[in-house]
Amino acid sequence: MTTAPLRLGIAGLGTVGIGVVKIIRQNAAQISARTGRNVVITAVSARSRDRDRGVPLTQFAWEEDPVALARRDDVDIFVELMGGHEGAAKNAIEAALAAGKHVVTANKALLAIHGQKLAETAEAAGCQIRYEAAVAGGIPVIKALTEGLAANRIQRVMGVMNGTCNYILTRMEATGQGYNVLFDECAQLGYLEADPNLDVGGIDAGHKLALLAAIGFGTRVDFDAVELEGIQNITLDDIRRAGDMGYRIKLLGVAQMTGRGLEQRMSPCLVPANSPLGQLEGGTNMVVIEGDSVGQIVLRGAGAGEGPTASAVMADVCDIARGTRLPVFGQPARSLIGAPAARSASAAPFYLRLLLQDKPGALAKVATVLGQEGISIHRMRQYEHAGDAAPVLIVTHKCTRSQLDQALEAIAALDVVTQTPVALRIEQV
């Protein structure tokens, strides 16, 4: 194995990029001792050359164009930390692979959309694409799936993978403030993406789930097949009522292989309050992996931020420095199967919140509709009247989402229903 320095070119000097620079400056001797090679930065690229980033950068060559950085002869690993699934990031990664460079990236959107093609290109060229930082920040979940659990048949992957959403939901519960107030708070704290819907709409977390599903089930990454539902419609009433019944609401990603195909969904769910996921607070992430031999593994940690995400970037750099070589998605890209998408195929209990007119027979009408769709009621609770209407909560026995959707359409048309019903899946964890 070569002992020549491993030379990095970093494109993107935002929070994570500067975090990588700091780690290399502070821990260079430790990195060298653990990998057998010195890891150095030779060149960088960013939008603004003159901005004060809090660390000296004058010793590095500067490239205005990240594609030119990717092609430099003195760069062994192209570290892409710009973001975006098209344009500069994609062009630069393609240029790096064409030039025979390894790639380390935190770009979940690009890999979720173009991952299969990029993986085939990299593997044909004998190059690595590593992306631990793309999923769950500092949590080493990619390494867990591709290495530690490689001998397991994965049965289910699930988790809370967007810290902003978990922060909003847990703060709603703790403070009694509504969604809009806490959305504004997150904006002021800088927790939201430039396009906030990437966070609160579940898109960011959906990208991450698509990557984990591809690794876990040996399938081609297919973000278009991920069912997405954000947290915008979750109310304080939902959070309080769920709590009354022993649940908490999380934006939960779940991927599992069913008889109909691969089910991938990112949506608000109820989870038991005493479960690891139920106890997760603030901006922390958690990924739960279930394997046929190992059982359930729970990984918890910081899902974002300078240090945790830069740590994940450097984990990939260290692996390459050691000579570790792995297919992008854990097995050769050409062997990945194109699994059919199974939309909400697995049965589960559901939480229903209804507002019914306070008149005899109202609840009986709802129960009749549910029964006609083969849905039975597990438990029910009625709250104090709101004027001439009564809030009613129902927890069903297991049913499919298609069954429930048909029932909800009929329930919404009943003359005793005064508000569009709310339905949330209850995930067994």
Residue-level pLDDT at 1: 53
Backbone angles phi, psi at 420, to 5 degrees: -60, 125
Q: What's the CATH superfamily of 350-426?
A: ACT domain (3.30.70.260)
Pairwise CA distance, residues 208 & 213, whole Å? 9
State both tokens at 110. 């690009």
Q: Comparing C-alpha atoms, which of 29, 124, 20, 144 is closest to residue 79?
A: 20
**Alpha helices (H) along 190-305:** 197-200, 203-217, 236-244
- In the chain, CATH 3.40.50.720 covers 6-134
Which one of 101, 208, 250, 398 is the catalytic residue? Answer: 208
Query: In the CATH hierarchy, which fold is given to the domain comprising 6-134?
Result: Rossmann fold (3.40.50)
Pairwise CA distance, residues 394 & 380, whole Å? 4
* Residue 208 annotated to the active site: yes
Q: Comparing C-alpha atoms, which of 341, 346, 379, 335 is closest to residue 116?
A: 335
State both tokens at 244. 């009354």
As assigned by CATH, the class of the 148-302 domain is: alpha beta
- In the chain, CATH 3.30.360.10 covers 148-302
Residue-level pLDDT at 113: 97
Residue-level pLDDT at 76: 98
Prediction pTM value: 0.93
Amino acid at 271: V
Residue-level pLDDT at 388: 81
Query: What does the pLDDT profile of the chain (429 residues) look like in tens digits?
Result: 567 899 999 999 999 999 999 999 999 999 999 999 999 999 999 988 888 888 989 999 999 999 999 999 999 999 999 988 889 999 999 999 999 999 999 999 999 999 999 999 999 999 999 999 999 989 999 999 999 999 999 999 999 999 999 999 999 999 999 999 999 988 887 777 878 888 999 999 999 999 999 999 999 999 999 999 999 989 998 999 999 889 999 999 999 999 889 999 999 999 999 999 999 998 899 999 999 999 999 999 998 888 999 999 999 999 999 999 999 999 999 999 999 998 877 899 999 999 998 888 888 999 999 999 999 999 988 877 767 888 899 999 999 998 999 999 999 999 999 988 999 999 988
- In the chain, CATH 3.30.70.260 covers 350-426
Q: Comparing C-alpha atoms, which of 62, 99, 82 is closest to residue 17?
A: 82
